[in-house]
């Protein structure tokens, strides 16, 4: 059977086409990590080593941008990324669908966490501007005079909408993420919240702005 189904007795479930039978090695990983005792501890140790190698690989790939960072600092970043990735993998074992090898699936968590750690470190001593009045956007000087006038009108309308339609928190998040391009994980850390909460706030803010500008005959781009 090529499709795994997870069903409780007496309850019918339709097969999920996204779930395929994992290979033997992946099944062994899952069994060990879901087990207990020494076998589970050994599997966790082996998984952490895999994730640490992945994190070091990602840091090495970005080495040109990290010339100012000392080797021991990079190793500390890699270890922290591997620790976070391990916790994420263990918490999401039930999300594994078998579309790739388990190790490939887990590897991506370490790459993601390494990137997050690097962005946080890059912004460690930088000021995160949360002032809703800080607007870094202007009309493109390469545009024609007519296009610059239109862009200026859109920017003014957008600024008015941000001021009058959004809540203070939505204004802060929208300006920080959409205009000042602050990494979302950095902003989440500074505001003591999480990425999902910020994504929802940004989505709600864009929806309200798009509706307001549409009523004025203007449009808010998907990436604005």
For 203-217, write each residue's pLDDT tens digit.
999 999 888 888 877
The residues facing 20 across adjacent strands are 3
Q: In percent, how much of the chain has pLDDT > 90?
A: 35
In this structure, are 114 and 79 located in the same domain? Answer: yes
In this structure, are 118 and 190 located in the same domain? Answer: no
Whether 118 and 62 have beta carbons less than 8 Å apart is answered as yes
Least confident of 92-96, 126-130, 160-164: 126-130
Enclosing domain of residue 30 = 24-122
Predicted local distance difference test score (pLDDT) of residue 15? 45
Structure tokens at 151: 């862009």
In this structure, are 176 and 115 located in the same domain? Answer: no
Whether 148 has a pLDDT exceeding 80, the answer reads no
Least confident of 33-37, 91-95, 129-133: 129-133
Mean pLDDT of 45-67: 85
Predicted local distance difference test score (pLDDT) of residue 69? 62
In this structure, are 31 and 98 located in the same domain? Answer: yes
Whether 215 and 164 have beta carbons less than 8 Å apart is answered as no
Does residue 19 sit within a domain? no
Q: Is 61 exposed, middle or buried (0-12, 13-18, 19+ CB in 10 A)?
A: exposed
Could you tell me which of 162, 160, 143, 164 has the C-alpha nearest to residue 205?
162
* Domain count across the chain: 2
Task: Note the pLDDT tens digit of each residue in 101-129.
Answer: 999 999 999 998 888 887 777 666 566 55
Give the start-end residues of each E strand in 30-145. none
Question: In 3-state terms, what secondary structure has residue 223?
Answer: coil
Q: Which residues contact 220 (CB under 8 A, 6 or more apart)?
A: 158, 206, 209, 210, 213
Averaged pLDDT score across all residues of the chain? 77
Question: In 3-state terms, what secondary structure has residue 154?
Answer: helix
In this structure, are 40 and 118 located in the same domain? Answer: yes
> Band of the pLDDT at 85, cuts 50, 70, 90?
very high
Q: Global pTM?
A: 0.56
In this structure, are 29 and 97 located in the same domain? Answer: yes
Does residue 172 sit within a domain? yes
Does residue 8 sit within a domain? no
Task: Note the pLDDT tens digit of each residue in 17-54.
Answer: 455 677 899 999 999 999 999 999 999 999 999 999 99
Structure tokens at 203: 């989505």
Whether 144 has a pLDDT exceeding 70, the answer reads no
């Amino acid at each position: 059977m090529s499709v795994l189904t997870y069903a409780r007795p007496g309850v019918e479930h339709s097969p999920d086409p996204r779930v395929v039978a994992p290979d033997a090695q992946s099944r062994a990983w899952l069994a060990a990590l879901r087990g207990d005792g020494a076998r589970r501890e050994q599997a966790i140790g082996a998984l952490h080593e895999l994730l640490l190698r992945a994190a070091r690989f990602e840091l090495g790939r970005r080495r040109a941008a990290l010339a100012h960072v000392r080797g021991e600092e990079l190793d500390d970043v890699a270890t922290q990324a591997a620790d976070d990735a391990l916790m994420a993998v263990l918490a999401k074992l039930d999300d594994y669908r078998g579309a790739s090898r388990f190790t490939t699936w887990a590897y991506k968590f370490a790459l993601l966490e390494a990137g997050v750690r690097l962005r946080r470190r890059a912004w460690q001593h930088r000021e995160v501007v949360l002032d809703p009045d800080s607007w870094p956007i202007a009309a493109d000087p390469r545009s024609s005079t007519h296009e610059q006038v239109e862009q200026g009108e859109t920017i003014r309308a957008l600024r008015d909408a941000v001021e009058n339609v959004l809540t203070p928190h939505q204004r802060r998040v929208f300006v920080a993420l959409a205009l000042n391009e602050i990494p979302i994980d950095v902003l989440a850390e500074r505001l003591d919240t999480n990425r999902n909460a910020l994504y929802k706030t940004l989505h709600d803010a864009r929806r309200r702005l798009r509706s307001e500008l549409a009523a004025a005959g203007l449009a808010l781009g998907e990436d604005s």
